[in-house]
Chains A and B, each alone.
Chain A
Amino acid sequence: MDRLKYAMMWAGLTFILLLIFLSIYGAFLGSDRAESFFNCPALAFYWLAFALLLVAGITEFRRLLRVPCLLLIHAGCIFILAGSMLGSDAGGNLQKRLLGIDKIRKGRMVIFEGRSENRVISEKDEWVKELPFFVKLKDFRIEYYKPEYLHIQTHNGRTWKLPVEIDTEFSLDPKLGSVTILRTFENFKITIDGDKKVAIDDPEAGYNPALEVQIKDPNGNVTAKYVFERFPGHIHPEDKFLLSYHRVIRDYISWLEVIKDGKVLAEKDIEVNHPLHFGGYHFYQHSYDDKAGQYTILQVVSDTGLPLVLAGYVMLCAGVFWHFWLRHIFARVKSKSE
């Protein structure tokens, strides 16, 4: 190895060591501060220098050009670095200045059911920008794991977990009696019917899941209770049990339409792990209105640089497996066949 190559190898090793220490340091900062730290001008210079060193390495080390798997590994790393730089804030600003491309990098959209929206908000950078098309939320729904459960706890810590099955009587203990779930509510409300207070499941906007529970004591006395998911009760001295109603979210789904000039150009049910891709942006199910279930919050992310990063991933993976696994497997198969 000549002096230049030796110096380049040392430089590469130094860059790797530095990145190990920077990654560990970044881990202690938390994701928000780490993102700012790794995108600061000094680190931008580091990323650029690292990418240039890899390019120089490929041109200087003939072996990297001769051995395809090694070329794939190193070129894959360059692609990943290039794609990441292109998709970063600094990359976006550079594209705006040099090419006049002004794309939203990342932001959020709040869309109410039945409404269309094209405004993207960045809370971090405090701006509101508009997309060249509208996104309409046709419907938003939350799905829960089945069965749902009613949890019962006594003063002395005994617990039961009963599946929510209407009109099924569950015997707890001969001394405690039994429990029957009579009704479920998605949006519990009380109305006045004449002189009586009546519990109804209000179909209008709102979100107040509840259960109507009948408790029968060992003497046959019956009392009714309402158990609310969002307002868990407390044990009072006169109560025999604490009742609580738990549901576990399985998924939350937004039914979206992309509209431009009055025409529906795309339509998709988006959920976590299943984003919508349209017009150079990805739309992700980020959050929702947990009080009334009336709006969804989408994360909007530009796809600038993404194809380069994904190509880099494929190249890196293919190169690594080829270099460390496949060529040895092929060599072994070949030697056996000979």
Chain B
Amino acid sequence: MEIKYTTQGLLIYITIVVYLLALLMTLLRRPKAGHLLYILGFITAVVSFGYRWYHVRHIPMQNLFEVFLCLGMIYPVSLFCHRVLRVGGYSADMLIGAIVLVPAGFIFNAQPQRLPPALQSWLFTPHVAVYMLSYIFMAKAAFCALCQLAGKGLNSGENVLPAEQATYRMISVGFPLLTLGLILGSYWGKLAWGDYWGWDPKELWSLASWLVYVGYFHFRYMFGRRHPRINSAWAITGLVVIVITLLWVNLSKLFAGLHTYAI
């Protein structure tokens, strides 16, 4: 764990603090101030992402530091879920935004890297971007599922769906992106390495995470809302497998493979 005494580090820390202040204001029943601070945090996160982009001269999605920097720009997803999908947890999103920036600010190496030949492809940005977007939706789904298991509603009093239905809706939005990410990755593997499926640990964990959500849909089709706790357990398991896919596979020496450059 190290503090980054750089402009990049400063921008990350400001974003974390502003997100936490936004959460605090919301909890203190000052939603307008909370909302304004949330927007301010988002703007700082965008500036931080843009600064990194300028610094490395390619879209910053190459390694875990850059991916977590990207995940910090959660606000548009949060707003879309709240306004369009009627899924609550708006204040929890502020916390998620702050949490995902902590590894970027204190743990991951921010040393700029040149893109290796394999990453110089038009598929680089869409493959990583759709995965990141799907992970945010799946994280929100897991949060809704946790609320369901805890017997708590999502921001009671608001015009939002009950937790079990909100979980389903989040997974329904995130699943096509997860599928697209998997397929784009496979197609890219074919173009770069000659195999659309290389049995690489990252690929297998990604398949496992996709299959957990496939299982969720089939289970929910069979039993509907009769076993809400099991439905929620599927959603939480999905996020656990995603976290393993995103972090453990890249960081652990157990899983050496084609994706080790993404550290």
User: Which positions in A face B, CB cutoff 8 Å?
Assistant: 1, 6, 9-10, 12-13, 16-17, 19-20, 23-24, 26-28, 30-32, 34-35, 38, 84, 106, 145, 248-252, 271-275, 282, 284, 286, 299, 301, 306, 309-310, 313, 316-317, 320-321, 324-325
Contact = CB atoms under 8 A, between A and B. Distances in A.
A146 B201 CA distance: 34
B186 interface: yes
A44 to B, nearest CB: 15
A20 B211 contact: yes
Contacts, number: 118
A271 B222 CA distance: 48
26 contacts: A12-B218, A13-B218, A13-B219, A19-B207, A23-B204, A23-B207, A27-B208, A27-B249, A28-B254, A84-B197, A145-B114, A250-B117, A251-B117, A272-B118, A273-B118, A273-B121, A274-B191, A286-B194, A310-B187, A313-B187, A317-B176, A320-B175, A320-B176, A324-B172, A324-B173, A325-B176
Contact of B205 (A10, A16, A27, A251): A27
Nearest to A285: B117
Given A106-B194, A324-B173, A313 B183 contact: yes
A30 B249 CA distance: 11
Interface in B180-200: 180, 183, 186-188, 190-200
B237 to A, nearest CB: 9
Nearest to B191: A273
Given A31-B257, A309-B196, A324-B173, A317 B180 contact: yes
B194 A299 contact: yes
Nearest to A83: B196
A6 B218 CA distance: 11
A331 B22 CA distance: 35
Given A23-B208, A27-B249, 16 more contacts: A6-B222, A17-B215, A24-B204, A27-B204, A27-B208, A28-B254, A34-B199, A35-B198, A84-B197, A250-B117, A272-B117, A273-B120, A275-B194, A284-B193, A317-B180, A325-B173
B221 interface: yes
Contacts of A274: 191
A26 B194 contact: no
Given A23-B207, A313-B187, A324 B176 contact: yes
A9 B199 contact: no
B157 interface: no
A124 to B, nearest CB: 13
A316 B117 contact: no
B10 interface: no
Contacts of A6: 222
Nearest to A303: B190
Contact of A273 (B192, B196, B199, B205): B192
Q: Is the interface of A mostly helix, strand, loop or mixed?
A: helix
Contacts of B172: 324
B81 to A, nearest CB: 14
B147 interface: no
A301 B194 CA distance: 6
B214 A31 contact: no
A31 B258 contact: yes
B212 interface: yes
Given A23-B205, A250-B117, A16 B218 contact: yes
Nearest to B113: A248
A17 B213 CA distance: 11
B43 interface: no
Among A27, A145, A313, which residue has the most Cβ atoms of chain B within 10 A?
A27
A306 B186 CA distance: 12
Given A275-B194, A313-B186, A30 B256 contact: yes
B20 to A, nearest CB: 33
A53 to B, nearest CB: 12
B224 to A, nearest CB: 11
A31 B200 contact: yes
Contacts of A38: 199
A13 B205 contact: no
Give the 6 A-B CB pairs with smallest separation, nearest first. Answer: A272-B117, A34-B199, A27-B204, A27-B201, A23-B208, A301-B194
A19 B211 contact: yes
Contact of A20 (B180, B197, B208): B208
A315 to B, nearest CB: 11
Nearest to A37: B199
Interface in B75-122: 114, 116-118, 120-121
A273 B208 CA distance: 26
